[in-house]
Amino acid sequence: MSDHYWRRLPGPAVDASSPRELGELVPTRYDDRFAELTAAGLALGVRRHAYLMQLALTENGLHPDPAARLPVYGGGRAERTERSARRSEGEPDLLVLRPDQVAVASAFLRGSALGELVRQQDTVLARTVAALGYATPWSEALAAEVVADLRELRDFFAGAAAAGDAVIMLESA
């Protein structure tokens, strides 16, 4: 169970930056910039629910649309400017969604009944929570948290798509 952070950036900024530089632009909850960027709609953080969000969007073939995989764990790895394809020590593992992928993800999220998707996945999510060792079992309260996080993600992607931005996702332990 890890935290996930998304950051909107103009596409050219993504193309001109190394993975390390991009990683420095994605604030975490412990970063002084986090609250300000979140309030401006430029960043989003989700504590421990990202995997559950992904399952709600993609599990059981309810949404065979490939766009269902984009918002949480979609996109490609940040390209490295070094000759080596290996990640250097301290370089973050980032996923980058290009503006066209952001638009597709946004359209998918807008067109989905997020609460219903979570309800439809109740059994899968309950088993996953138990298997991952969550401190509390799957419940209506936890389901409501996942739905709220999905709605925040929907709104975040809507803002990014409207601006034509790319989105970077960082997973943090």
CA distance 134 to 139: 11
- What is the tens place of the pLDDT at every residue in 65-113? 889 999 999 888 876 444 334 445 555 679 999 999 999 999 999 999 9
Amino acid at 82: E
Contact 111, 65 (CB under 8 A): no
Give the residue numbers spanning the domain of 103. 3-172
Question: Whose structure tokens read 């931005």?
Answer: 165
Both tokens of residue 52? 């559950």
CB-based contacts of 138: which residues, under 8 Å, 6+ apart?
A: 122, 125, 126, 129, 130
Residues lower than pLDDT 70 in the chain: 1, 60-63, 79-92, 173
pLDDT at 56: 93
- Of 71, 167, 72, the closest CA to residue 110 belongs to 71
Both tokens of residue 45? 């953080």
> Facing residues of 165 across strands?
10
The total of structural domains in the chain comes to: 1
Contact 101, 75 (CB under 8 A): yes
Amino acid at 120: Q
Query: Residue 85: which CATH number?
Result: 3.40.1760.10
pLDDT at 45: 95
Contact 96, 76 (CB under 8 A): yes
Both tokens of residue 132? 């991952």
